[in-house]
Amino acid sequence: MDISLPNGNDSGNELKKNKAIILGAIKNNPHITLDELVIVTGKSKCTISHETKEMQLAGNLRRTGSARTGSWEVLNLEPMCKLFYCTLTKKHKKS
């Protein structure tokens, strides 16, 4: 899966990009593992674990079933939608 996002130096945007990529990957494959998310995002397993826990607490993501055979459920795509909306808006303003 190839998800292209804008480059930026703002760490807040980096966190949003991480979350958007994670949510997109989970939406694409609800049975994706943390190890597979590491490959998709290029981030550490610790970072992915932290991000998924944070999104679960925020109500954007839920893990159902067992840790080994369970699956993810995306409850709210707002973080991903906001990022892509901002990305499109910035691209059109530059043109």
Tens digits of residue pLDDT in 8-50: 444 556 667 888 889 889 999 999 999 999 999 999 999 999 9
Distance CA 5, CA 73 (A): 23
Distance CA 37, CA 41 (A): 6
* Domain boundaries of the chain, sorted by first residue: 11-94
pTM of the model: 0.68
Answer yes or no: are the C-beta atoms of 20 and 79 closer than 8 Å.
yes
Tell me which residue of 30, 8, 27, 29 sits closest to 17, measured CA to CA: 8
Give the angle 31-34-35 at the CA atoms, nearest 5°: 105
The neighbour count for residue 20, using CB atoms within 10 Å, is: 20
CATH topology of domain 11-94: Arc Repressor Mutant, subunit A (1.10.10)
When comparing pLDDT for 95 and 82, which is higher?
82
